Amino acid sequence: MTQAETTVRHLLLRPDFRRLLGTRLMSQFGDGVFQAALAGTVLFNPQRAADPVDVAAGFAILLLPYSLVGPFAGVWLDRWSRRQVLLRANVLRSGLVAVVAALVWGGVHGTAFYAAGLAVFSVNRFVLAALSAALPHTTDDASLVSANALSTTSGAVATVAGGGTAIGLLQLTGSADGGYAALALSAVLPYLAAAGVVAGFGRAYLGPDHVARSARLSAGDVARGMVAGARHVWARPPAAAALTAISLHRLCYGVLTLMTLLLYRNTFESDGGVFPGGIVGLGEVVAAGAVGTLLAAAVTPAVVRRFGKPRWITLLLVAAGVSQVALGALFVPPAIVTAGLVLGFVAQGVKICVDTTLQEWIEDDFRGRVFSVYDTLFNVTFVTALVVGAFLLPPSGVSYPVLAAVGAGYLLAAFCYARITRRH
């Protein structure tokens, strides 16, 4: 039996780890269902249409507003019971999803539709930050890499499973507004299940270690908390380097995401046999990414123990730059699916290492703020890439210069990260 297998078994023997993992799985399965319903509504609904700028604008509206307040939410995560945050947030977004479903059913789009979607996405990101900040309370330091590999990877797979379930149900509900509304509403069940699972924790079990007596926050408290969190990260170069690496990766990832969406919407034929276009073909890319995610979870803990996180992150970023250009330049569905598998492997390997680095270097009373800043960077860089890509990519999604720029961006990310970590 390998050390990785022993560590995973050790983790799964802990009831508290299993409970937090169950909360994550239910929560992210619901995310997958809801995101598939929303993507189908905007991108593949025959009653609606979208060009590259529309797609980028939709992502920006749904992600950027939360990204501006996310760091402030992090201050709350360091003052409120994280168990209470996870419980109430899952109940809250169940209600919000019902509102979105009603709007889709009624054919409403524009400001009201995006505002409701924004509310759900905002709570989703808050939940993910709380889960990451709480994880060290359910494992020991020696098992953090394996705990992150198992938690974030199984969570990502749960999201894909939720999306796949939604696509399967679409065959029954139909691809008009009514069908997508039914799919969105079905996300309520896993969200309520997540709330039920996390309710089994004691109020203070998931931290923070020093809960403030009052949850009231003045503007000055928030500002001082954010400054303290920024200084805390800046004083720890490994943590700062990790945030730099994930931010540059997300810039490249955002451009590739938009390129893939456009290819499957406008270029690849929907009846293309084994590798079709449309939402089914896009589902194949997502499924391939999930396979890559699982492989990364299996490989990363052992590689990190042997070579360390800095070398592994650098190697992954270089591999992403080379593979995405080599495979993507073919612009055919089988190559894009394979590129999705490689990118899923790279993205998850980098994320496992970054999450672990932050949990190792950031003190518990700062984790809420730091993980919210992390989540903000995760979103802002992604949306920035989408906006830039919207003006650089043609509607077909086929662009060799943009693909070459993405490859160069990954190599630049590897160089910057390696240089920072080598100094420290």
pLDDT digits (tens, 9 = 90+) for 344-356: 999 999 999 999 9
pLDDT tops 50 at residue 294: yes
Please answer whether residues 359 and 309 qualify as being in contact, where contact means their C-beta atoms are separated by less than 8 angstroms: no
CA–CA gap between residue 302 and residue 240 (Å, rounded): 24
Mean pLDDT of the chain: 86
Q: Return the pLDDT at 111.
A: 77
Per-residue confidence (pLDDT) for residue 45, from 0 to 100: 59
Straight-line distance from the first to the last Cα atom of the chain, in angstroms, rounded to the nearest whole number: 35
pLDDT of 49 reads 55
241/421 Cα distance (integer angstroms): 7
Confidence (pLDDT) at 83: 94
pLDDT tens digits along 77-95:
777 899 999 999 999 999 9
Average pLDDT of the segment spanning 153-179: 85
pLDDT, mean of residues 315-323: 97
Q: How would you write the chain as a 3-class SS string? A: CCHHHHHHHHHHCCHHHHHHHHHHHHHHHHHHHHHHHHHHHHHHCCCCCCCHHHHHHHHHHHHHHHHHHHHHHHHHHCCCCHHHHHHHHHHHHHHHHHHHHHHHHCCCCCHHHHHHHHHHHHHHHHHHHHHHHHHHHHCCHHHHHHHHHHHHHHHHHHHHHHHHHHHHHHHHHCCCHHHHHHHHHHCHHHHHHHHHHHCCCCCCCCCCCCCCCCCCCCHHHHHHHHHHHHHHHHCCHHHHHHHHHHHHHHHHHHHHHHHHHHHHHHHCCCCCCCCCCHHHHHHHHHHHHHHHHHHHHHHHHHHHHHHCHHHHHHHHHHHHHHHHHHHHCCCCHHHHHHHHHHHHHHHHHHHHHHHHHHHHHCCHHHHHHHHHHHHHHHHHHHHHHHHHHHHHCCCCCCCHHHHHHHHHHHHHHHHHHHHHHHHC
- The answer for residues whose C-beta is within 8 angstroms of residue 358's C-beta and 6 or more apart is 132, 239, 242, 243, 367, 370, 371, 374
pLDDT of residue 208: 86
- Counting Cα atoms < 13 Å in the Cβ hemisphere of 415 gives 7
pTM, two decimal places: 0.75
d(CA 347, CA 292): 9
pLDDT, tens only, 12-25: 999 999 999 999 99
Query: Which has the closest alpha carbon to 282: 121, 167, 399?
Result: 167
State the virtual CA torsion across 410, 415, 421, 424 in degrees, nearest 10: -160
Rounded distance between C-alpha atoms, residue 237 and residue 235, angstroms: 6
Average pLDDT (137-157) is 88
State yes or no: pLDDT of 116 exceeds 90.
no
Q: Which domains does the chain have, with CATH numbers?
A: 3-207+217-423 (1.20.1250.20)
User: Which token pair is 372?
Assistant: 């919210």
Backbone angles phi, psi at 295, to 5 degrees: -60, -40
**pLDDT of 6 higher than 60:** no
- CB-based burial label for 206 (10 Å; 0-12, 13-18, 19+): buried
In percent, how much of the chain has pLDDT > 90? 51
C-alpha 86/C-alpha 1 separation (Å) is 35
Average pLDDT on 180-200 reads 95
pLDDT higher for 288 or 364? 288
The per-residue pLDDT for 270 is 74
Exposed, middle or buried, 416 (CB in 10 Å: 0-12/13-18/19+)? middle
Q: What is the pLDDT of residue 1?
A: 43
* pLDDT tens sequence across 195-248: 999 999 999 999 887 665 445 656 676 667 667 777 888 888 899 999 999 999
**Cα–Cα distances in Å, from 29 out to 16, 162, 165, 294, 370?**
20, 5, 9, 16, 25
Residue 51 has pLDDT above 70, yes or no: no
**Per-residue confidence band for 32, with pLDDT thresholds at 50, 70 and 90:** very high
